[in-house]
Structure 1
């Protein structure tokens, strides 16, 4: 289900290639001059930024292989705008960690696939991608039988603290250049295409980044308030709870269709949400804690949507500062 074993096929495709140096390009800009005609610039108010999202990935492979995979042609080409190495990687050629730019920010990198977030699809067109060297990986389950279904077995090493410092600094610079990247638009690969991906995985420090001003996180007291309310409300059956949760996921940004979502799809998107916001327990179950966390996020970032839910006691909502 997770599809994080993308490295296997790509490794074979690049087995005979060598290491590339970082491909850093400079922006030519959108404005230009011409000797053949005169240009008069009148800025239209009817425009917006191309870049709306920042997408985080882990590579699942080492630096050397990551750089080759992300820069050289293949039958299944991938790329990203940036690659951030990690310490103590024998394949990394420098003593100090450096940010590698592989694609100019004005160009479309191939990192997001057939993704969905908010009202946008094909997020390659609207995003900047950061690949982070981290050898998380999953072993696919054994062939399933009617009697039992086995989950994939995944291994998630910690991210390098020095590496995360680089990711934080890089992300802050990107956010300063692109004001349309709001907190809920700093997302993981697994958020936008959970059918195939789970990166950057449960060890990625989303809360640490949010505390540095990068991305979204919830307030603990708000979670507790919603949890207390949900725990006291026992009138809803399981199916209706899951369907309403699917609607809340959609309102936050996830690409689920609440009206058509199957049981398996709701579990899939719930797992994606938990990888990001409740990484200590990822089980796909729509329990009260998971619901309370999502409600806390909606209250913080989309309060108008939350106040419109008929099954939520709006009297428990915090009063917003005017």
Structure 2
């Protein structure tokens, strides 16, 4: 009898330890992934240094991709928050650590020289691995093209990664990011060549893209930094922050396409 009582008591304790009984037979349609964006970065260092930093208790990311071999390391589970975005904003959402997946690519970024900044390129192998990973995440998370952004997009006042040599067009060709039609851009550029829109127009168009940008109509340093971040992505040959006809054409075509 005593052994039976002890057994029943053990079962009761086990039931308490397992938590409440939850009925999971019903599922709401009103839901989506907590991760709404994928943010791309470069590490500014080699693989070992990158691993040492990202495995610590400070900055972190969900994934790290090496150069050669282009090994994909998962450092943080996708359902947990990684510390990769910092103070950031995109499409009105702030502090994107809570709503994004961070991917770091091993790349030294740039060095300062007498000729200015010299940027390090990305290897084809590394970008191939990134594209495979991005397709997998987007399929599993139900994300659409436009969800992939750079650190420089969400923090243009303090960040420039993944830099002007990051091949955004390759991601576009893989169906991962929107890209402006070249012929449409050429037509728009010819229209803007004679009359470039004012600064307020550029600020409104950049805000429609998702950037946090002043909307006061003045070409201040903050606005220039946002323009430069956009140019670095869609016109990396020149990202001087100047509101010119080609930049206006790129913005107009991208926003018209939705």
Q: Under TM normalisation by the shorter chain, which class is it?
A: 0.7 to 0.9
- Partner in structure 1 of residue 36 of structure 2: 52
Answer yes or no: is 1:253 the counterpart of 2:210: yes
In structure 1, which of residues 128, 140, 153 is the aligned counterpart of residue 101 of structure 2? 128
Q: Take 1:35 and 1:51, find their aligned partners in 2: how far apart are those partners? A: 28
Answer yes or no: is 1:66 the counterpart of 2:42: no
Shift of residue 262 of structure 1? 5.4
Q: Take 2:112 and 2:121, find their aligned partners in 1: how far apart are those partners? A: 18
- Partner in structure 1 of residue 6 of structure 2: none
Shift of residue 164 of structure 1? 0.7
Q: Take 1:248 and 1:241, find their aligned partners in 2: how far apart are those partners? A: 11
Corresponding residue SS for 1:106: coil
Corresponding residue SS for 2:248: helix
Map residues 257-272 of structure 1 onto 2, 5 A cutoff.
257-259=214-216, 263-272=220-229
- Partner in structure 1 of residue 156 of structure 2: 194
- Partner in structure 1 of residue 198 of structure 2: 241
Q: Take 1:220 and 1:85, find their aligned partners in 2: how far apart are those partners? A: 33
In structure 2, which of residues 58, 67, 71 is the aligned counterpart of residue 86 of structure 1? 67
- Partner in structure 1 of residue 255 of structure 2: 298
- Partner in structure 1 of residue 11 of structure 2: none
Query: Which structure is larger by alpha-carbon Rg, 1 or 2?
Result: 2
- Displaced runs of 4 or more, over 6 A: none
Q: Take 1:140 and 1:250, find their aligned partners in 2: how far apart are those partners? A: 34
Structure that is richer in helix per residue? 2
Answer yes or no: is 1:106 the counterpart of 2:79: yes
- Partner in structure 2 of residue 173 of structure 1: 136
Q: Take 2:18 and 2:247, find their aligned partners in 1: how far apart are those partners? A: 61
Change (3 A) 1:107 1:288: same
Change (3 A) 1:227 1:262: closer
Change (3 A) 1:192 1:100: same
Shift of residue 48 of structure 1? 2.9
Change (3 A) 1:259 1:172: same
Shift of residue 138 of structure 1? 4.5
Q: Take 1:223 and 1:260, find their aligned partners in 2: how far apart are those partners? A: 24
Corresponding residue SS for 1:130: strand
Shift of residue 45 of structure 1? 3.4
Answer yes or no: is 1:162 the counterpart of 2:125: yes
- Partner in structure 2 of residue 212 of structure 1: 174
In structure 2, which of residues 145, 148, 151 is the aligned counterpart of residue 183 of structure 1? 145
CA contact (8 A) 2:110 2:120 kept: no
CA contact (8 A) 1:186 1:216 kept: no
RMSD: 2.1
Q: Take 1:171 and 1:61, find their aligned partners in 2: how far apart are those partners? A: 22
Q: Note the residue ranges of structure 1 that are not aligned, 5 or more in a row.
A: 1-33, 88-95, 142-151, 303-322
